A = this chain, B = another copy of it.
Amino acid sequence: MTDLSRLSLNTATTKSWTLEQAVDGAVRAGLPAVGLWRDRVAEAGLERSARLVADAGLRVSSLCRGGFLTAADDEGRRAAVEDNRAAVVEAATLGTRELIMVVGGLPAASAPGGPALPDGDRDVVAARRRVADRIGELVPFAAEHDVRLVLEPLHPIFAADRAVLSTLGQCLDLAADFPAESVGVVVDTYHVWWDPELRTQIARAGAEGRLASYQVCDWMLPLSADPLLSRGYMGDGYIDFPTITRWVSEAGYTGDVEVEIFRQEIWDAPGDEVVATIADRYVRHVLPSLTAPVRSA
């Protein structure tokens, strides 16, 4: 099987490439889609990026990322809403409905080396409430632009400094107050593979029409000094891709499969080599379980 018709290259995987190079590389490898990061889009220019991708005949599977919504002060709150509105406009301009949201950690944790946390800043329950409030403020704007806010549960290793949403179930609970067209969820294997509720919550996400994106990469040990960079090629680590991919398929997901790997050795390797490896691993570990769901007649 060499069917790459659902494989998407997330541009974070080929970090040394500009957006234009990533688009060209995806086309050379026969991939039909790219997942874009806002920094690469900003570099290339928004309108130009949209043109480059469209002219290449590629889909944009998602835009990474909005979020960082946990600020407790008015200024931080306003800045977050403003930045996320900009991200919504960028997603719409680039032609993707799916804006991935990394919601942010405990407020003071975002300033490394900063002063010790005031007591209230350790209140993770309150931080989650602020995320829900900010999502509520953003939903009407996103809906106007036909863009979906896609909540990303991050591995609990990032709960203090990056995302106070740690499980798919928690994201779906938050999403429940909003239409499925406006708030979705993403399954990124690196973040959720360990979750004992994973099968149930993937099925629930599908049933609720909120399964907006499937991102794959492996969990590697030993952890990198920066655990953000501890991802690896599918098959190199501990994640059971056939099983999780089957659950995602059974939930009715028929969209693109994005490969998003942050890892220094992979960033240091030639981009075309990386894309070839991604395609090979996708075909071996993911594609065989990526069946269209069986629908009852």
Closest to A239 in B: B122
A107-126, CB under 8 A of B: which get 1 and which 0? Answer: 00100100001010011110
Residues of B within 8 A of A124 (CB): 193-194, 240
- How many whole Å from A43's CB to the nearest CB in chain B? 28
A window 199-229: CB within 8 A of B: 219, 221-223, 225-227
B238 adjacent to A194 (CB under 8 Å) = no
- How many whole Å from A287's CB to the nearest CB in chain B? 16
Asked if A170 lies at the interface with its beta carbon under 8 angstroms from chain B, I say yes
B221 adjacent to A223 (CB under 8 Å) = no
B106 adjacent to A238 (CB under 8 Å) = yes
A196 adjacent to B223 (CB under 8 Å) = no
- How many whole Å from A114's CB to the nearest CB in chain B? 11
B156 adjacent to A170 (CB under 8 Å) = no
A window 172-195: CB within 8 A of B: 173, 193-195
A125 adjacent to B238 (CB under 8 Å) = no
- How many whole Å from A243's CB to the nearest CB in chain B? 7
Q: In the complex where A109-B238, A221-B109, A240-B123 touch, is A159 in contact with B227 (Cβ < 8 A)?
A: no
Q: A119-B242, A157-B223, A160-B194 are in contact. List 4 more A-B contacts (CB 8 A).
A: A156-B157, A157-B227, A160-B237, A169-B196
Residues of B within 8 A of A128 (CB): 196
Q: How far is the CA of A117 from the CA of B45 in the complex (A)?
A: 44
Number of copies: 2
Listed from nearest, the 7 A-B pairs whose CB atoms lie closest are A159-B194, A160-B238, A122-B240, A156-B194, A170-B196, A157-B157, A156-B156
A160, A170, A222, A237 — which one has the most chain B CB atoms within 10 A of its CB? A160
Main secondary structure on chain A at its contact with chain B?
A: loop
Residues of B within 8 A of A221 (CB): 109, 112, 160-161
Select which of B117, B195, B219 is within 8 A of A160 by beta carbon: B219
Select which of B157, B165, B242 is within 8 A of A155 by beta carbon: B157
Asked if A166 lies at the interface with its beta carbon under 8 angstroms from chain B, I say yes
Asked if A70 lies at the interface with its beta carbon under 8 angstroms from chain B, I say no
Asked if A167 lies at the interface with its beta carbon under 8 angstroms from chain B, I say yes
A-B contact list, 29 entries, CB within 8 Å? A109-B238, A112-B221, A117-B238, A119-B242, A122-B238, A122-B239, A122-B240, A123-B240, A123-B243, A125-B243, A156-B156, A156-B194, A157-B223, A157-B227, A159-B194, A160-B219, A160-B221, A160-B237, A165-B196, A166-B195, A166-B196, A167-B196, A169-B196, A170-B196, A173-B196, A222-B226, A223-B223, A223-B227, A225-B225
